[in-house]
Every structure is written in C-alpha cells, then in structure tokens.
Structure 1
Amino acid sequence: MKNLRITAFLFFLSLTAFAQTPQFPIVKGFGGIYEIPDATERPDGTLEYKILVDLTSPSEDNKQISRFVDNVARMMNLHGLAGVTKDRIKVKVIVHGGGIFTLLNDENYKKRFEVENPNLKVFQALEEAGAEIMVCGQSLIARNLKTADLWPGVTIAHSALTTITTYVPKGYIQLKF
C-alpha cells in the first residue's frame, strides 16, 4: 500500500512538472496559450500578418465566453508567443450570422439570455490589442437589431460579404470561425 502511495505521488509530481500556466502575450487575460518547446513550425516574427476573421458561429453556451470569440484572442496570442510583435499582426474581425449575438450590449444580451454578455470583455481586450471588430449591417437588419443594441466598440460594415471581398485582395488571409 505504501508503494502505491509513493507511486501515485511521483506520478502526480511528474504531471505538475509538465503543467504550464497559460500565457497572454498580446491579448491580455483571454485566449490563453502554451509554449510548445518541440514545435519546429512556428510563425515568422519578421513577417507582417494580415488576418480577417469571418466569425459566424453562435455561442455554444450563451452564459459562457464563446470559444469562437476567445479563439480570435488565442490566434493573436499564438503569433505573439512565437515572436510576432503587436505591430506586426493586423486583425480585423467581421461578425455576422449566428455570431452577431456575441456583440449585444449587456442590457440586450440580458433580455435575450438572462445574463450579462461574457464576450464583451474579450472584445474589449481584442480592441486594446489592436484588433478591429466589425459587424455586418445586413445581419443587423435580418435580426431586427440596431446599432444601439450592440457593444459600442464595434464598427458597422455594409456587409460581411463586401468586407471579405474588400480585405482579401488587400492581402488579408481569411479565417472562418
């Protein structure tokens, strides 16, 4: 029995030795990521990255931060951990479809989901990290929403479709979340 306890303790100790604390090099407090010492494929810190995130996925649990919103922060932090500086990563997020509700201000989110919007702190951190958050104006109309219903940090775009067709030719890579 004593050997089993010692073995269990050593196993637990070995697990904690490999545990890491999440890091937040660009987007503070959200999108925690981990260093992968064995990774040989990494972003190039000398390049400028221009990324357009096409965010359409609704939250899986409206009482929690959307993993799709948090993934924007993760993507920025992963680049930062690999040596890409904040000034070398240009991120634009166009939100439409089911993702649009992640941008509701607290008052309107609470009416719809009975909690304050957990995503707003992430959007604020993204904005502070240099990301531009846009919402599709066509999606607003389709869902009977007004600009006043949304987080004040969002920019209204004519449409997601035209935002994508405007930025991709300007060299932005499109990621679909």
Structure 2
Amino acid sequence: MNFRTFFLALLLCFFSGFLANAQTPQFPIVKGFGGIYEIPDATERPDGTLEYKILVDLTSPSEDNKQISRFVDNVARMMNLHGLAGVSRDRLKVKVILHGGGIFALLNDENYKKRFEVDNPNLKVFEALEEAGAEIMVCGQSLIARNLKTSDLWPGVTIAHSALTTITTYVPQGYILLKF
C-alpha cells in the first residue's frame, strides 16, 4: 500500500468513527426546541419514577436579540433532558419566572420589533414550552420598573406579583430553584 492509499484509508476510518458518534438532536417533550443527545455511557440520570418540580429563575438578557435566547432555549433543553432519561411529561412540573433583563424575551412581536428591529425569535419557544406543560410567568415589579404593560407581552404569560414572592411561594412547596 502506498502512502496516499494509507493516508486516505486513515482519513476514512477517522471520519467514519466521527460520523458514527454524530447524533441527530432529540426533542422528547418540547417539540422543535432545546435539542439534546443521548449519552449511552451516562450512569447518572434522572429517575423516571420521580416527580420533578422545577422553578426556573430567568433574569439573563439575550446575548443576541436577533436569535433565540440561549437561556430560554435552555429551559426546553432541561425539560427534554428529563424526558430523554425517562421522566414522563406528567412527572415534570416546570414554572419559569422571568424578571430583570430577561423580561424582554417576552415582548410581543410588535414591541420587540420596536426595540430590536426584528420579530421576537423567542415566542415560538415559549409556545412550545407552554404546549409541553411549562407555566411562563413574568415579574409584575419588573414590568413597572421597565415601563411595560401586560399588552406589550406575549399573551401566554401569567403576570406574577413579583419574582421574589414567586420564588418564596414555590420553593417551600418542593420546587427546586434553577437560576438562568
């Protein structure tokens, strides 16, 4: 075998191994968003027999307002990761409270376009999260601080008295708090 043939065979082996490990993203609970991958070697996994109660405290603004916020998409990823591990949708209770700089992700298209010059790319993610059973809430205090009204927002959002009281209400009820 000459060097060229050997080199091509080596490249073929390398890329076939790479392609064998490549996976297509999966969306077991939140359809179309938060794509995740099976990890066959993982021994630490969620327990599909447990009920998971999760409160996401989302304050981070989008890094690029023309793209889906990675923090909003991460809620979908978290739900899909549980689903891929065998946690059924009815055993996954997710509430998301947005406040601070995170609330701009909830603007309706009209108001988002005024602020960022594009339609809101996050709204389809929020719709998919809602369809998957997540409850999306916004801090009423943050709305006032930013001079926003309920009519400025995506219609699927629930207005909370405050993020602080939402957290102090649900954590004692057994919700784990995740900060995004």
TM-score (norm 2): 0.97
* Alignment partner of 2:125 out of 122, 127, 130: 122
CA distance in 2, matches of 1:64, 1:95: 18
CA distance in 2, matches of 1:107, 1:3: 60
Deviation of 1:9 after TM superposition, in Å, equals 2.2
Structure with the greater alpha carbon radius of gyration: 2
Alignment gaps of 5+ in structure 2: none
Deviation of 1:8 after TM superposition, in Å, equals 1.5
Q: Does 1:7 align with 2:31?
A: no
CA displacement 1:42-85 (0-9 Å, x = unmatched): 10101100000000000000011000000000000000001000
Amino acid at match of 2:19: T
* Alignment partner of 2:81 out of 71, 78, 82: 78
1:26-45 matches, within 5 Å, as 26-45=29-48
Taking only the aligned residue pairs, the percentage that are identical comes to 86
User: Structure 1 residue runs of 4+, over 6 Å off?
Assistant: none
Deviation of 1:3 after TM superposition, in Å, equals 2.3
Amino acid at match of 1:112: R
* Alignment partner of 2:19 out of 16, 19, 25: 16
Deviation of 1:5 after TM superposition, in Å, equals 2.2
Aligned residues: 177
Name the residue aligned to 2:148: 145
CA distance in 2, matches of 1:3, 1:156: 65
